[in-house]
Amino acid sequence: MRFAEHGEAATVVKLEEVELGQTGPKDVLVDFLAAPINPSDLNIIEGKYPLKPSLPATPGNEGVALVREIGSEVDSNYFKPGDRVVPLEAGFGTWRTSAVLPADCLYRVPSNVPTLTAATLTINPPTALCLLDKFVHLQPGATIIQNGANSAVGQAVIELATARKINTINIIRERPDWDEVSSHLRSIGATVVTTLDQALAASAHMPKPELALNCVGGPSATKLAKMLSHGGTIVTYGGMSLQPVTIPTPLLIFKDIRARGFALSINCSRAEKAALLEQLIPMAQKGAFSSQRFETYAIEDFKSALQRASEPFRGGKVVLELPAYDTCEA
């Protein structure tokens, strides 16, 4: 799949046949199994993201692939044909059947990590881990609050926080399938699932949050900041509402609220990403991040997938199944 101009993804992305280059001595030839459509993928295609690939470009920053062939200088003790690998960096273009990629940009994933979990392991769970680790030292019993709690990042935050005995106040939008979504989030550990309007009342019995995680912006971000404890930190990592983040002046002066930002692609080197995966993969092997719901589409149906990925209130992450998917076990 490629796009040669910026615009709405379902319009500008095309399916094309492109010659694969030779597998160089330090390269690996892979067949992609599955790749999700994340909000940043759509933003990059629309030209609204700071990362601007040279065009034409293959979209997709996350995915899992099967090694088909390794270059002559690639460590055959590490990579061998049949291994599953994920990219250590964004920007390679995962929405494609096959690719020749530098071996040092790939990370091997054990075969007992489910395919769709592996396909969605390198951006959202590492982001959740950084959000919990890099800003506030949270002790067991502490509370955090987040909006967009049913997003992939939000669900990973819930699972990671629960494992550390950290309480989570989870804000989602009013939606037709509220009961289903809120019971799913509670099943993975959410302490409270609530709407923006009900958040204060729903969490009155809990310690005030020390950390707020914002991927929405606008009034939702302001509400998170207002609910923080004295000296609390709000970290913005997404802007789904496309509205600015406003922190009222008294919160800064009288409550010493700190406002920070985070971007995995900027704040995390390849080595740091590998270290994060080393923490996350054992968890994934025990079933973490696997209860996230998915809506899968065959590559031939990519326009419907792109359309669906841009809609609100989806039942799960939209994932493209590439042809090699049929050859592997789930």
Ligand X SMILES: NC(=O)c1ccc[n+]([C@@H]2O[C@H](COP(=O)([O-])OP(=O)(O)OC[C@H]3O[C@@H](n4cnc5c(N)ncnc54)[C@H](OP(=O)(O)O)[C@@H]3O)[C@@H](O)[C@H]2O)c1
* Residues assigned a catalytic role: 49
- Paired residues of 297 in beta bridges: 320
Which of 216, 257, 299, 320 binds ligand X (CB under 6 A)? It is 216
Q: How far is the CB of 51 from ligand X (least distance, A)?
A: 11
- Residue 89 phi/psi, 5° resolution? -135, 155
Work out whether 176 is an interface residue with ligand X (CB under 6 A). no
Beta pairing class for 192-194 and 294-298 = unpaired
Which of 32, 92, 237, 297 binds ligand X (CB under 6 A)? It is 237
Judged by beta carbon, residue 23 or residue 127, the one nearer ligand X is 127
Judged by beta carbon, residue 96 or residue 317, the one nearer ligand X is 317
Which of 250, 269, 313, 315 binds ligand X (CB under 6 A)? It is 313
Dist. CA 114–CA 84, nearest whole Å:
11
Dist. CA 151–CA 107, nearest whole Å:
25
Q: How far is the CB of 5 from ligand X (least distance, A)?
A: 22
Contacts of 51 (CB under 8 A, 6+ apart): 40, 44, 90, 91, 265
Burial string for 250-264 (b: 16+ CB within 10 Å, else e) reads: ebeeebebbbeebeb
Polymer length of the chain: 330
Beta pairing class for 167-171 and 98-102 = unpaired
Q: How far is the CB of 64 from ligand X (least distance, A)?
A: 16
Work out whether 123 is an interface residue with ligand X (CB under 6 A). yes
Cα 142-146-151 angle, rounded to 5 deg? 130
Task: Pick out residues in 194-213 that bind ligand X (CB under 6 A).
Answer: none
Contacts of 11 (CB under 8 A, 6+ apart): none
Residue with tokens 């951006």: 123
Cα 266 to chain centroid distance, Å, stands at 15
Name the residue whose CB lies closest to ligand X. Answer: 238
Q: How far is the CB of 152 from ligand X (least distance, A)?
A: 3
Work out whether 262 is an interface residue with ligand X (CB under 6 A). yes
Count CB neighbours of 7 within 10 A: 13
Task: Pick out residues in 27-86 that bind ligand X (CB under 6 A).
Answer: 38-40
Dist. CA 283–CA 294, nearest whole Å:
19
Which of 150, 170, 191, 214 binds ligand X (CB under 6 A)? It is 150
Work out whether 223 is an interface residue with ligand X (CB under 6 A). no
Which of 317, 319, 322, 325 binds ligand X (CB under 6 A)? It is 317
Which of 35, 264, 280, 281 binds ligand X (CB under 6 A)? It is 264
CA atoms within 13 A on the CB side of 29: 13
Work out whether 170 is an interface residue with ligand X (CB under 6 A). no
Judged by beta carbon, residue 23 or residue 38, the one nearer ligand X is 38
Q: What is the DSSP letter of 138?
A: P
Contacts of 254 (CB under 8 A, 6+ apart): none
Which of 94, 124, 191, 194 binds ligand X (CB under 6 A)? It is 124
Work out whether 294 is an interface residue with ligand X (CB under 6 A). no
Q: How far is the CB of 204 from ligand X (least distance, A)?
A: 24
Which of 153, 190, 212, 227 binds ligand X (CB under 6 A)? It is 153
Give the footprint of ligand X on this chain (CB under 6 A).
38-40, 123-124, 127, 148, 150-153, 172-173, 175, 215-216, 237-238, 240-241, 262-264, 312-313, 317
